[in-house]
Homo-oligomer: A and B are copies of this chain.
Amino acid sequence: MQVDNAFYAQSGGVTAVINHTAQAVIETAATDKRIGKVLAGRNGILGALQEALIDTSVVPKSAIKNLAYTPGGVFGSCRYKLKSEQDCQRIIEVFAAHRIKYFFYNGGGDSQDTTHKLAQFSQQVGYPLTCIGIPKTIDNDLPWTDTCPGFGSVAKYVATSIREAALDVQSMAATSTKVFIMEVMGRHSGWIAASSGLAADRPGAAPHIILFPEIPFNQQTFLEKVQYIVQRYHYCTIVVSEGLKTSNGQFLSEADSSDAFGHKQLGGVAPILAHMIKKHLHLKYHWAVLDYLQRSARHIVSAVDLKQAYQLGKTAVQLAMQGKQSVMPIIVRTSNQPYRWHIDSVPLQDVANIEKKLPKKYIRADGFHITPSCKAYLAPLIQGEAYPPYLNGLPNYQPFPCRLVKPKLQPYNLL
């Protein structure tokens, strides 16, 4: 009997734990005799379009195990939306040629939309394709699920980083730096900025100020707050979301801020705030921009996050084998303390293109910090350490041996 193959791919911004989801899909598929090979798309859905399929069945088990420890997306990711019916048609042709009947797409909101569209198309054309979405996004903005794999690890990294930097600034404040600004990701929602608030475990602890995309920036209120904090604690630490906006809804990092300090900035909101503080409060500052470091920091992932990444991948395969179609497994929280959760699933049509915003009740009334209920939500997500193996003093991230299946079709020109 010839069995059916599965396609798995990674989509959108990658995380420190997405490869652990890939590992779960590969290992779980291997336990079900109805599934043949797991063929991974090189660079997400592009791998399907370009017939660039990585044969995971020939990869040594040790390399599959290493996926638990490897940040980034070993198969490559993409930012690509299916552009036309022609794209969908091509994917079905590639899948038919390689006997692929299961489609697993590991990504955020846009990616779940792709999964949903492909499910609809395959039904229209009568090709039997089981389509399952698997959540992943550091932005934590997918609906229904308690959290998204990748986010908890970013939260742990961000809260750790501001706690560490704050001890440094506090040491220097007598004669040098008084204000430290750390810029984090989250262009459209403040989940990551909020997570830094977990470091504030006692009065006066960092971060002293959190700036959210959800709260329009007010220069005067902000500067008054900074001044108050410096007077009170001798130093001030600030976490700012890259998505901080003016009251006009414009990104502060893109605003023409020539009024404020006479010249334009090349991206990055942290240096803009730094110069504002220098100009108006005459305080010495330092600033950092975390960028990709926050989402690739496998060396300090959350054990809870890592576990959930695996469970979702595993459940995705199980759902497919139960005959479910167009669904995405989600995490359901049943208790904060102790954190209890299980996996359920929702239809993709309820997920696609919906963003879960940071609720108002999670932001303190003055707009500069998180509330206790936000902490209660976030705290379980960063629990536990899961260190990678080290070799010669550095995390031992091995390259994944990607061998492509021989193409059977003509090349496809992307539009």
Binding site for B on A (CB under 8 A): 10, 13-14, 16, 42-44, 46, 70-74, 76-80, 156, 159-161, 163-177, 180, 182, 198-199, 201-202, 261, 263-268, 270-272, 274-275, 286-293, 295-300, 302, 379, 382-385, 387, 390, 392-395, 397, 399
Whole-angstrom distance between the Cβ of A81 and the nearest chain B Cβ: 11
Contact pick for A77, options B171, B379, B382, B392, CB 8 Å: B171
Q: Is the CB of A71 within 8 A of B274?
A: no
| B10 contacts A171, C-beta separation under 8 Å | yes
Is the beta-carbon distance between B171 and A73 smaller than 8 angstroms? yes
Of the residues B78, B167, B270, B292, contact of A296 by C-beta under 8 Å? B167
A357-B383 Cα distance, complex, nearest whole Å? 43
Alpha-carbon distance A286/B292, docked complex (angstroms): 8
How far is B291's CA from A182's CA once the two chains are assembled, in angstroms? 9
Residues A292 and B180 in contact, CB atoms below 8 Å apart:
yes
> In the bound complex, how far is the Cα of B180 from the Cα of A76, in angstroms?
16
Q: Which of B173, B176, B274, B302 contacts A266 (CB 8 A)?
A: B274
**Across the two chains, which residue of chain B brings its CB closest to A271?**
B266
Residue from B164, B296, B302 in contact with A297 in the complex, judged by beta carbons closer than 8 Å: B164
Residue of B nearest to A77 (CB): B171
Q: How far is the CA of A10 from the CA of B274 in the complex (A)?
A: 27
Q: Is B160 a contact of A394 with CB atoms below 8 Å?
A: yes
Q: Is there an interface contact between B384 and A72, defined as CB atoms closer than 8 Å?
A: no
The reply to whether A261 and B266 contact each other, CB–CB distance below 8 Å, is yes
Which of these, B10, B168, B267, contacts A14 with CB under 8 Å? B168
- Are A266 and B265 closer than 8 Å at their CB atoms? yes
Which 7 A-B pairs give the minimum distances between C-beta atoms?
A72-B167, A382-B393, A73-B171, A288-B291, A43-B174, A164-B296, A168-B296
